[in-house]
Structure 1
Amino acid sequence: MAPNHRQTSSSSDKSDPRYATMDDRKRKRMISNRELARRSRQRKQKQLEDLMAETSRLQIENNAITQRINAASQNYIALESANNILRAQEIELSDRLKSLTSILKIVQQEEDDVSRGASMKINHWQLPCPLPPIMASSDMFQF
């Protein structure tokens, strides 16, 4: 019997002004919920667009940094190659300087001996150590 009572009361509810205001509140709440859901979707869409824009910006920045790193690496390789050439030339020049210093000492000793009247012990054209040619060039260490 209770269900019959509810059915009769629900059919009479639509005519009751109290229930009309409840239906109006439900309708307003439904409209309000739809509006909130729409704004929430818009916020999420904007957040997604912002994240996509930031991703794009960071990729561009990453590419620029990668290019700068590559350029710096190439400069480093070129400078390292030039530095190796200079080190090889420095070693050769140092050896040549030692050789020339030794020749100068021998020549000075010979001049001292000649000035004292002693006979020359070696021929000036026969040096105790031959002068090595400088072999390093800028083409040797290029990659």
Structure 2
Amino acid sequence: MFCSDDPVQLQLPVLETGFPYGELEELLSFLQSDNPTVSPNNSGSEGSNRTLSSPDDRKRRRMMSNRESARRSRWRKKKHLEDTTNELNQLGAENQELKSQLDYVASRFFAVQAENERLRSECASLSARLSDLHWILLAMQNHINPR
């Protein structure tokens, strides 16, 4: 069944792993080279050597997998840091713009408040003057037309 001299062709589904295509090819070629084909001329002792080296192969594959996982983890951490830094810069700029708008609105508020106070004072002054004129007019009418 596995006795042919043809190299073993691994046809695994490629899922979205984050591996660049070249690294996937390199990893597959590495795995293919570590899995020698068993020929009919191989003795039982070579089979037992393969069994003895199998934990080493698993250890090496696990080490490669752990290294790749660590590389992806570092990449995600770097990307998260860049994204957070960009968001910080954007929020800082937005905060500065909002502060500027707040300063403008506050200055307009104080200007309108001062104008409002001036107009209230002028209104009170004009009301008092109107009241005085009203009394003068009444006095003049009473003086001209005494009863």
| Shorter-chain TM-score above 0.5 | yes
**Separation (CA, whole Å) in 2 of partners of 1:53 and 1:17:** 52
What corresponds to 2:83 in structure 1? 50
Stretches of structure 1 that go unaligned for 5 or more consecutive residues are 1-14, 117-143
Q: TM-score, normalization: structure 1?
A: 0.66
Shift of the alpha carbon at 1:16? 2.4
**Separation (CA, whole Å) in 2 of partners of 1:33 and 1:87:** 78
Q: 1:59 aligns with which of 84, 87, 92?
A: 92
Shift of the alpha carbon at 1:22? 1.7
Kindly indicate whether structure 1 or structure 2 has the higher relative contact order, using CA contacts under 8 Å at least 6 residues apart. 1
Two-structure CA RMSD over aligned residues (Å): 1.4
Tell me the number of residue pairs that the alignment of Structure 1 and Structure 2 aligns: 100
Highest CA radius of gyration, 1 or 2?
Answer: 1
What corresponds to 1:122 in structure 2? none
Q: 2:70 aligns with which of 23, 31, 37?
A: 37
**Separation (CA, whole Å) in 2 of partners of 1:55 and 1:17:** 55
Is 1:88 the counterpart of 2:121 in the alignment?
yes
**Separation (CA, whole Å) in 2 of partners of 1:96 and 1:25:** 103
State the percentage of identical aligned residues: 40
Alignment of 1:104-123 (within 5 A): 104-113=137-146
Stretches of structure 2 that go unaligned for 5 or more consecutive residues are 1-47
Shift of the alpha carbon at 1:17? 2.2
Alignment of 1:13-24 (within 5 A): 16-24=49-57
